[in-house]
Amino acid sequence: MYTVDTPFGKIVIGQSEDLFSPAHPDRGTLAMLSCVSFLPGQRVLDLGCGCGLVGLYAAMLLGQENVVMCDIDPKAVEAARENARLNGLEICAYVSDGVSSVPQSDFDLILTNPPYQSDFSVAKRFIEKGFNRLKIGGRMYMVNKRRAWYENKLRAIFGGVKIKQVDGYFVFEAERRRSAYANARTLLK
């Protein structure tokens, strides 16, 4: 168990040893959260939620009714739900391969820290399918330590991307400006 100090109070995380970052908050996740501008009433998807830190952070700022979490690992989803309870919240969380089992759409923000130590298949799916779950003007934030592939993929799908470097991580911000991908040919690759 650990706590995360935030500008609005502490978040308690009762972590499981077999989940990502079991003993402390991930530095990449904290880097991403430091770059996100949350506005009242926004709807947030924590994509690949793990223990739920990102979703809990958003819920404490925006209200639990405005946050959805999902992860492919049932243990992660149960940990996220339990961590929500530890913090006096009840969160909508789905076991889902990417967004495939998430019925909601029209999110203002999608926040994700995808696995980047392997191939790019998970991130590719998150970017392509996440685009369609954002409303026009909605933004995807993604964090990792690799730049070139992510920058190119986000630019191809969204038409542009802003990049900040924080604590050794790249934080990507891409805004959905149109109803279709910027370059539909990227889906053929």
Looking at domain 26-188, its CATH superfamily turns out to be: Vaccinia Virus protein VP39 (3.40.50.150)
Two tokens at 171? 């934080």
8 confidence band (pLDDT: 50, 70, 90): confident
Give the pLDDT score at 187.
Answer: 46
Q: What is the mean pLDDT of residues 28-36?
A: 96
Lowest mean pLDDT among 9-18, 107-116, 151-160: 9-18
Distance CA 57, CA 110 (A): 13
Centroid of chain to Cα 33: 10
Over 60: is that where the pLDDT of 188 sits? no
Give the pLDDT score at 24.
Answer: 64
| 135-157: burial string, b at 16+ Cβ within 10 Å, e else | eeebbbbbbbeeeeebeebbbbb
Domain ranges, ordered by start, for the chain: 26-188
Q: What is the mean pLDDT of residues 26-41?
A: 95
Lowest mean pLDDT among 22-31, 37-46, 94-103, 127-136: 22-31
Distance CA 125, CA 10 (A): 33
Two tokens at 49? 């939620």
181 confidence band (pLDDT: 50, 70, 90): very high
DSSP state, residue 89? -
Q: Write out pLDDT tens, residues 61-119.
A: 999 999 999 999 999 999 999 999 999 999 999 999 999 999 999 999 999 999 866 67
Percentage of the chain beyond pLDDT 90 is 79
Q: Write out pLDDT tens, residues 59-68.
A: 999 999 999 9
18 confidence band (pLDDT: 50, 70, 90): confident
Give the pLDDT score at 119.
Answer: 77
